[in-house]
Chain A
Amino acid sequence: MGGESRYEIHQDAYIKLVLHAVKHRTSSVNGVLLGRSSADGDSVEIVDSVPLFHSQIGLLPPLEIALIMIEEYYAEKGLSIAGYFHANERYDDFELATVAKNTGDHITRYFPQAALLLLDNKKLEALPKGKDRRPVMQLYIKDASRSWKLVGSEGGNQLSIKEPSGNIVLLDYLASEKWKDIVDFDDHLDDISKDWLNSELFQ
């Protein structure tokens, strides 16, 4: 709970979230993070992610079904819902949406070190020009006063991509328009033959 935890996100989990945001660039999108905390509680590993919705975010019915299903599936793999991802509709909007905070609050009840990730559009845009290995997301965690605080890259709490090649692979996928293939829970509810696990995505 606060303190000096480190957050590490696996490449595939990271890329899925960004691709989802890019696929639906004219709306907000959100997703859920799956992971586990280390035995000593010092770090959190975000092993996977599931893109959730790209429309009417905040309505409870689809969210409740999604969370139940996702929890059931990943519990068998020893992973819990460890956080939430949100990308705002507008390019320059860095405000943490209320729905993000509310969902984050809910997740924190079961996973106290839950992370809230917000897509940083400016970093994403700058990615092709630089060699930044850091994720193009802002990390928020709940501090002692029970509110969501932005975590800077200085200090112990930071977010990193597990594989150093993370952003390079991401750029590759963006160039090849891989985001067209990503499936979210909204897509699944519209057509249940669509796989929100995206198990074939990185084959």
Chain B
Amino acid sequence: MVSKTEEDQVNRLESQVENGGGGEWEYLCLVRKLKLRRSYNVLKYGLSILNDPKKRSAIGPEEWTLYEQVAAAAMDCQRLDLAKDYVKVLLEKFPESKRVGRLEAMLLEAMGLWEEAEKAYSSLLEDNELDPVIHKRRVAMAKAQGNISGAIEWLNKYLEIFMVDHDAWRELAEIYVSLQMYKQAAFCYEELILSQPTIPLYHLAYADVLYTLGGLENLHMAYKYYASTIDLTGGKHTRALFGICLCTSAIDQLTRGRNKDDKENLQLAPLSALALGKDYKQRAPNKVSMLASTLRSLKLSS
């Protein structure tokens, strides 16, 4: 997972390259470091370096890392011809390498040869049982074949061993959401919040799932977590502000006619509406009236 600053950095480099200002190598290194999936551009920029002998010699021994990175990107973009070439180059240079062996197995995956890929991964695992990349490829393969329950099984097995892999927990949560298994998704976010309590993204995602699950108790919890998201982000988080408004409105509807005491803790809605109003006025002025009518229909005014 990357921070906003890191993402901005990558996007800036990307525009720089697109506008002819160079920086391809920096971009490729950054994407590699942050483990982002930008295969389209990685392939484009990578090719421009690899196909130019001067540029290739300028990066020296990093050439091989680049071959690996571009091969993977090529597979993602279904340019199997290029991927095969680069894997061949790496095999010639590093004939006994397990790392290249993994890339070869990925190529089998990209070609849709699932059984062969599975065999390749199994044999690689024999020598290195705890290679997280191979375990994750298994999940990816299941997903790619549409075997979502298989993907869930493998991912759960993976998390039993690598329980600190936050990205894996997020992946699992997202898979559950895609299957409307919101209770299970909630569990994943609870694990994430437990281990990294100050990351607002997890609070927000948890709140979204709770709201989706519905029911008075979940709505109150969602409200709490939207509030903590706002707390952790200095009060400007658009999604969380909207979340407060939605929760307040929904709780209102469910508790119509009930004791006012139930609602005593929901004080944030008017403030959130105000904050949204201010932000829209400043950054999206042509949508201020849309915001106003949206908040009105939620029975809150800004």
Q: Which residues of A contact B (CB under 8 A)?
A: 26, 28, 55-62, 64-65, 68-69, 72-73, 89-90, 92-93, 97-99, 188-193, 195
Contact = CB atoms under 8 A, between A and B. Distances in A.
Chain B's interface: helix, strand, loop or mixed, by majority?
helix
B145 to A, nearest CB: 9
Contacts of B178: 28, 57-58, 89, 97
B212 A61 contact: yes
B246 interface: yes
A72 B293 CA distance: 7
A90 B280 contact: no
B287 A61 contact: no
A60 B238 contact: no
Contacts of B207: 61
Contact of A72 (B246, B280, B284, B294): B294
B129 interface: no
Number of contact residues on B: which range applies? 20 to 34
B33 interface: no
Nearest to B112: A92
Contacts of A98: 180
Interface string B225-251: 000000000000011001100100000
Given A59-B209, A60-B211, A72-B290, A65 B177 contact: no
Contact of A56 (B208, B287, B294): B208
Contacts of B286: 195
Given A68-B298, A73-B290, A62 B177 contact: no
Contacts of B116: none
Interface string B128-153: 00000000000000001010000000
B279 interface: yes
A61 B211 CA distance: 7
Interface string B28-43: 0000000001000000
Given A61-B239, A72-B293, A193 B284 contact: yes
Contact of A90 (B144, B180, B298): B144
Given A56-B177, A57-B178, A69 B212 contact: no
